[in-house]
Chains A and B, each alone.
Chain A
């Protein structure tokens, strides 16, 4: 791993803002453009940039492969679990009306949870795919 000073310092400056932007896209999705899918890809992009600059070994310390692989089904579980929870509250599958007293709040919560599920699955899938490709090259 050769270390390029400008790349390393530049990446260090940019990385936190990429993650922050991913969170912004995630939680501001109700008001601005974006949502779980875009946020997941941007967050995965942060991990991938980190591993390009600092090596996969360093990236696997901040995003361990086992966690990344768990994230892939976890998002679908969160999404489906939201639907089951709304079923248990007496509404239709994925009808968020029961989550809070007020209609609008309930649906904001529902959208937020569901989008979080999308983020988890997308981010996990992208990073896991990247790890799989990189690992393949070494054997």
Chain B
């Protein structure tokens, strides 16, 4: 990709630059409302990046969950907590050190990765050919991603659904309160069915 800049590479470079800009803006921003909106923009940029990488499923998830639902949930949280971060005087040395070490470790890790987009990367050699051959042999639906998620590896998806279920139940338990002690609900549970 480098050396022969295609339109795709240019779009990718622009998106990555914007991502870096948004990240710096998030780090410098002290108003939480701004941070939430910035992270929504970050998710949209990420979704665009995923589309450039031809991962439309991931892009769709990122756009709907990252930019949509989590922004709304974070805004609802801000409504509860207030949107200004308390100014706190503390040394930046340790956080800076941790970020640099983690960042360096990640960059060091990418050196060991196979080159981007090559066909004989280990991930394409393991079970992927079996799935592709199998779905071709049986005339499975053309979107193999769906077939992999819901058929070949439906155990995984069952586990993921259970995770979503568990997370939802946990959030509901934490937020709706309603610890029933001796069958009686706490008094603040009865409030809250009026107009917003």
A interface residues (Cβ-Cβ under 8 A, vs B): 1, 25, 29-38, 41-42, 44-45, 48, 52, 55-57, 69, 72-73, 75-76, 79-80, 83, 93-94, 96, 103-104, 107-108, 110-111, 114-115, 117-118, 121-122, 124-126, 128-130, 132-139
Contact = CB atoms under 8 A, between A and B. Distances in A.
Contacts of A41: 61, 64-65, 68-69
Contacts of B65: 41
A34 B73 CA distance: 23
A97 B168 CA distance: 32
Given A35-B146, A57-B195, A138-B191, A129 B171 contact: yes
B194 interface: yes
Interface residues of B, number: 48
Contacts of B168: 72, 121, 124-125, 128-129
Interface of B: 56-57, 60-61, 64-65, 68-69, 72-73, 76-77, 79-80, 138-143, 145-147, 149-151, 154-155, 157-158, 160-162, 164-165, 167-169, 171-172, 175-176, 188, 191-192, 194-196
Contact of B165 (A56, A73, A108, A135): A73
B150 A121 contact: no
> What is the interface of chain A mostly: helix, strand, loop, or mixed?
helix
Contact of A38 (B60, B142, B191): B60
Contacts of A25: 60
18 contacts: A1-B195, A30-B146, A33-B57, A33-B60, A35-B57, A38-B60, A45-B64, A57-B196, A83-B158, A93-B155, A107-B138, A125-B164, A129-B168, A130-B73, A132-B171, A132-B172, A133-B175, A135-B192
A32 B143 CA distance: 6
A21 to B, nearest CB: 10
A72 B168 CA distance: 7
Contacts of A32: 143
B154 A114 contact: yes
B143 A136 contact: no
B195 A55 contact: yes
A136 to B, nearest CB: 5
Contact of A135 (B145, B151, B171, B176): B176
Contact of B175 (A42, A83, A126, A136): A136
A69 B167 CA distance: 13
Contacts of A103: 138
A108 B114 CA distance: 35
A134 B150 CA distance: 33
A68 B119 CA distance: 44
Contacts of B141: 30-31, 108, 111
A62 to B, nearest CB: 15
Contacts of B176: 132, 135-136
Nearest to A112: B150
Nearest to B188: A139
